[in-house]
């Protein structure tokens, strides 16, 4: 309940209570360990240091995580850095890819594993949407749809990122973004054709 001046408590409205119930449910689901392995899509990106070596090492590191059973990497694409105020062609460019993994980790544990690999490769979170040695985001986790203060699945900005959708489509032309639609159609809506790049 919400306290008011004078100490009175006001019960939550029906909409507020529904949001609280949904948040509580999603928090539970974020921490649930699956009974069977789940396919998840992870987005990988790097725009500092030796980007290609970093992505290769990140895939090896993912393969070594207990609970990650299989890792398949998409083609790698080159992209312009995106900052808070939009694309920044003056910033170092990114190499981007997606990895399809099969995992028995919970969504929260998978997120933590990615963050640990980021730190191992020198990731420092000094600036939101700043340059980075390595970025690992969960895009999908099976067909799960959750929203918590620290984890939203599917990734809320995947639908507008051709550097995620392009590699994902190249890896799996029939891929579906849960709750949204086919990745191929999302790419067409962005009027983007994914272009593979040779690794430097």
Q: Are strands 152-153 and 146-147 parallel, antiparallel or unpaired?
A: antiparallel
Look up residue 159 and give its DSSP letter: G
17 in a structural domain: no
Residue 195 in any domain: the answer is: no
69 falls within a domain:
yes
Give the pLDDT confidence of 94-150 residue by residue, as tens digits: 999 999 999 999 999 999 999 999 999 997 766 676 688 999 999 999 999 999 999
Q: What is the dihedral of CA 135, 64, 152, 145, to 10 degrees?
A: 140
Residues noted as catalytic: 123, 132, 135, 137
* 166 closest CA partner among 97, 100, 82: 97
Query: What range defines the domain where residue 108 resides?
Result: 34-189
Between CA 52 and CA 36 the distance in angstroms is 32
pLDDT of residue 197: 44
The answer to whether residue 67 sits within a structural domain is yes
79 beta partners: 94
- In-domain check, residue 15: no
Cβ-contact 95, 52 below 8 angstroms: yes
Q: What is the mean pLDDT of residues 8-34?
A: 82
- At 200 the pLDDT is 36
pLDDT in tens, 136-173: 999 999 999 999 999 999 999 999 999 999 999 999 99
Domain harbouring 141, CATH code: 3.30.70.560
24-73 pLDDT, tens digit each: 999 999 999 999 999 999 999 999 999 999 999 999 999 999 999 999 99
Q: How many domains does the chain have?
A: 1
DSSP-derived secondary structure for 74-116? PPPEEE-EEETTEEETTSPPEEEEEEEEEE-S-HHHHHHHHHH
**pTM greater than 0.75 (yes/no):** yes
């Amino acid at each position: 309940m919400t306290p008011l001046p004078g100490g009175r408590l006001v019960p939550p409205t029906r909409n507020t209570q529904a949001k609280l119930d949904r948040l509580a449910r999603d928090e539970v689901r974020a921490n649930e360990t699956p009974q069977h392995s789940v396919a998840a899509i992870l987005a990988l990106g790097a725009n500092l240091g030796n980007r290609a070596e970093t992505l290769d090492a990140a895939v090896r590191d993912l393969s070594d995580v207990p609970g990650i059973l299989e890792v398949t990497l998409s083609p790698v694409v080159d992209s312009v850095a995106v900052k808070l105020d939009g694309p920044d062609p003056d910033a170092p460019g990114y190499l981007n890819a997606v990895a399809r993994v099969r995992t028995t980790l919970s969504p929260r544990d998978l997120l933590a594993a990615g963050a640990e690999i980021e730190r191992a490769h020198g990731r420092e979170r000094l600036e939101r949407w700043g340059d980075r040695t390595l970025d690992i985001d969960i895009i999908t986790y099976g067909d799960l749809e959750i929203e918590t203060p620290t984890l939203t699945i599917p990734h809320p900005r995947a639908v507008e990122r051709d550097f995620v959708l392009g590699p994902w489509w190249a890896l799996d032309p029939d891929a579906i973004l849960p709750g949204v639609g086919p990745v191929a159609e999302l790419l067409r809506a962005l009027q983007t054709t994914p272009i593979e790049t040779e690794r430097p």
